[in-house]
Each structure stands twice: as C-alpha cells, then as structure tokens.
A and B are shown apart, each in its own frame.
Chain A
Amino acid sequence: DADVTQTPRNRITKTGKRIMLECSQTKGHDRMYWYRQDPGLGLRLIYYSFDVKDINKGEISDGYSVSRQAQAKFSLSLESAIPNQTALYFCATSVAGGYNEQFFGPGTRLTVL
C-alpha cells in the first residue's frame, strides 16, 4: 500500500464550488505539505504543517485553506474554486527536525471550469 495517499485522484468542478482534497499518510511523519504544479512551472508550496497545531502559509496560500485533523491527515480546501486553480496538487510528508527528504503522494488533478 502507498505510504502517502491522496483523494480524489481526479476532480472536475465548476467555478464557485467548494472543494476539499485529502491527504493521508502511514509513514508516521510529523510534517506535511501541499504543493501545486502548473505546466512548465516548478512546484509551489501552498501550506505546510509541522505538527497538528502548527500550520503555516506557503508561497501561494491565497484562495486556499487547510486543516490538519490528525498527524496522519492534512486536507486542502478551495473555498470558492476559480479556473486558475486548475492544476496538479501534491501532498508530501517528511520527518521532523532540519531539512529532510520529502515523500510525495500520487497527486490530484483538479480542473475548474
């Protein structure tokens, strides 16, 4: 079984709808991250969480919110989706302390019409 899972894998929605993307991990890592990837661009950090009570904004947090329900679960919400949020979204995890290797989920492809 995959260590980092994301649901759904694909989602098509309409402008103005609220969308939640979910991430679960069985690696026992404290840190979790949400990134988005646009064609021709590198990944950009949306939010990151170092533990359940520590949530931080990344480079492009506007229009997004997150919830860290447990050590193993980190959800990303789009309160009112817009077409330029169409992208590939990745969740990642890492152990605590310093700069450590990040492990990624398979991604969620989101299309906002």
Chain B
Amino acid sequence: KQEVTQIPAALSVPEGENLVLNCSFTDSAIYNLQWFRQDPGKGLTSLLLIQSSQREQTSGRLNASLDKSSGRSTLYIAASQPGDSATYLCAVGGSNYQLIWGAGTKLIIKP
C-alpha cells in the first residue's frame, strides 16, 4: 500500500531564504505527483504537477523535482515571502486514478 510522508510537519524560516520541502513515497510505481498549497478557508490550490516521465517542473519561484527510484520529491521555494506561508501538501497518483496524500508541511515565513 502506497504511503506518502512529508517531513518536517512544520517549518519556520525568515523572509528571503530559499527553502526545500520534502515528500517521500514507498511505492515507486506512480503515475504523477502533485504539489498543492492549502490556505485556511480557501481550499487547495495546485502548484505543480510532475508526470512520472518527468524529472522536474518549474513555476515562477517554485521548482519541484521527482526521483521515482528513490521515492522522493522536493519542492524548492526561492526567495521566500510572507505570502508563501501556508500548508504544502504532496499527492501521488496511484491506481484507479486516485491520489494518495501526505499530511503536509506547515510553512511560516517570518517578516
């Protein structure tokens, strides 16, 4: 059974720092991996989608990488801003088109 883990559960960094969020999964037979942002009261916003054949995706200050063989993905945030404060979730696409989710990393960017 696929399990997705995100460590740490919470992270606090000063504004301006570059940072990396981690996501690991136990079964490398995934179809894709998505990173989401969750803001209280606003639902989830898809940030990046990496297909299983891809190694990375970039959007603005965000870069997500995927290493299926090691069961790992990272989300790199450059030049962090207070507006980046949110909970970041990763989810892997498994069988039957279902997503298996990590519990998230709560990120706080201190001004």
Contact = CB atoms under 8 A, between A and B. Distances in A.
A107 B4 contact: no
A45 B43 contact: no
Contacts, number: 54
A56 B97 CA distance: 11
Q: How large is the interface on B (under 10, 10 to 19, 20 to 34, 35 or more residues)?
A: 20 to 34
A104 to B, nearest CB: 4
Nearest to B5: A42
B16 to A, nearest CB: 30
A102 interface: yes
B34 A101 contact: yes
A44 B101 contact: yes
Given A42-B101, A43-B99, A45-B98, A99 B42 contact: no
Main secondary structure of the interface of A (DSSP, over half): loop
A41 interface: yes
* Residue from B4, B34, B43, B91 having most chain A Cβ neighbours under 10 A: B43
B98 A58 contact: yes
Interface of B: 4, 9, 31-32, 34, 36, 41-46, 49, 51, 89, 91, 93, 96-104
Closest 10 CB pairs of A and B: A42-B101, A106-B43, A104-B44, A99-B93, A99-B31, A43-B101, A104-B43, A99-B32, A42-B103, A101-B49
